[in-house]
Structure 1
Amino acid sequence: MLLAVLDFRARGLYNPCTLSHERQVLMIDQLAPTVLSQFIRLDACQRYLHFKLHPHTTEALQQRYAAASRPLSPLLKRAGRRFEEEVIATLDTQHRVLDLAADEAAATLAALAEVGREPVILTQAVLEGQIGPWRAAGRADLIEVVADKQGRLHALIADVKASREERLEHRVQVAAYALLLEDMCRRAGIPLKRTLGAVVHRTTTGQFTTLHDPTLHFDLVDYQNLVRSLVDGGDAPLRRAAEATLNELPFAFSARCDGCPFDTICLPDAAERADLALVSDVSRAARSALAAHDIRNLHALAALKEPDEAGNLRVPREHSDR
């Protein structure tokens, strides 16, 4: 960490400048479900949300620190694409598969309106609508849809992950897609009776065989409620990240930061302000507690103890009541 800070100083990137961290009026037009899933994966980091919600501020900070977003590893990207292709190839032997990767939301609605008693699998279908107060849109990996005798649709929404294990963020992403599908159908007058979620991931027992494996399925209700709590309400993380300035959002560096595309901003920003996040043992909760006593940077933290005449560290009298 110290070497990185010294490197920023040597490159002339450590000195303060006049760029403000204040919230930009113009934010993103639409929220992507992947933003919510990454927020969960990054240990609920509200700074990540702030970066995604305020692209103009983020771009200015990247220019300030000569930092670029860290893309997904090409190897991981290829592995994910290859696994998804394997899954779709298997499904193509079982049902009609309709690739909507080159189409927009209108094509998704048209495909849904034509679904009959035979299952149809939509791949990379655009889903868009409202989640709480936010406009949102994204492409779902797989949606299997079939109509019952009354013409009502039953949908299974699945996300394909090349990872070996299913994680909370995967289900959150699927739940967000389900909310968008339900909103689209409601606005278009398409009867949607039931939605179910699934995460298709690599297993140690063999290759993917079917979407109808009940071990892949999960009930969406709890995860949809979680999504709503993230985006709506006075204490919703998304609202907090949208309204607060970047420096008002507490954070702490951890191993999770290595997987964040914006860690190249956070490190020089923290070094510039002597932020408590540079101390690995100071968690976000501990940092909030310190802030309650007006201890907001490394200088204030270091002043909690001072050497006495014998060279031993002692708490100064002015801090003894803290």
Structure 2
Amino acid sequence: MKASTESIICPPRMKSLIDNTLSKLNEDCTNLIGKNIGISKPNFDIITLETFFDNNEGQFFLIKSEIEDSYTGNICTIMQIKDGIKIGGSLLGYDDSQIKEKIEKEELDEDCTDGLKEFGNQFTGIIDNVFRNKLPKPVHIKLSTCTSINSENAKDIFPNLSSDDYLQLSSLLLIKGFETGNFNIFLQIDLVEDFFGEQIHDKTTNVLILDDSIADIKIIKRYLANTEFKPLITTNATETFTLLHKEKIHLILMNLTLPEQSGVEICKKIKKTPYTKSIPIIMTSSKPTESAVITSLEAGAKNFLVKPFTKSTLLQKINSYRVKKKQAVLF
């Protein structure tokens, strides 16, 4: 069978933060609702919220918490309505039979909603306390939204529903006296990488980016954040050949116009050097002429990208050069 990729999807320091957070949530939420509650160790995935709602029908309850100070983003907790009723009803002191009756009717009334909002406020405070003590930079987390949610209204709550990637923590929810439920916590990918500087995705393909525009470099790095491509940055020919000596490079993204030597000149040199001639090169430019494109291809470039380009356009151009990860096999 294939080995687990959990440690790849969730880097070590981030996983430690999650473990500490869930441990504290289990302890404090048990005291909060007056019943033994357990959020299991999660399975990890990278997903958009649009995909989540496409794959999960029905009504859910959302607790959305905003992260501020040194970091910017959100943490979303999504549970089925029946699990929300368990928590909200328990916090309000309803007996189990009352809660089960409401679950059967899927009746999230105003009182249960108020109970869930109070839970959401306390829940966010617990996460805030753990993150303040564990993250390297100052952070503040506050509750922003507590509401019912489904595939229909999700687009109103999340404008970038289809494009923002999240690290999904999918756990079982165990509350004494009730059937096992599900508990999903979503952390934005950018946040996960910002917290400790760890890469969220296993990087199998080294991409040398040769460009003298810091702004363009930042854009390309952001596009490659949640992919198998690891960006390695150079801004001139000297840095480029030094890096080519040190690292195994699988692909080069090179700007056509550079201050010392042109991209075409550097491309020709790379193609004449035995240990680098097989590396595919994609030339980029904001104002390419037809002759510049032809010259680049004649010099050895495999393809050409016109700036500015979207993430999807970039990935379409470079995915064929991706180095596939070898799967570990356990016997």
TM-score, normalised to structure 1, is 0.31
Higher strand share: 2
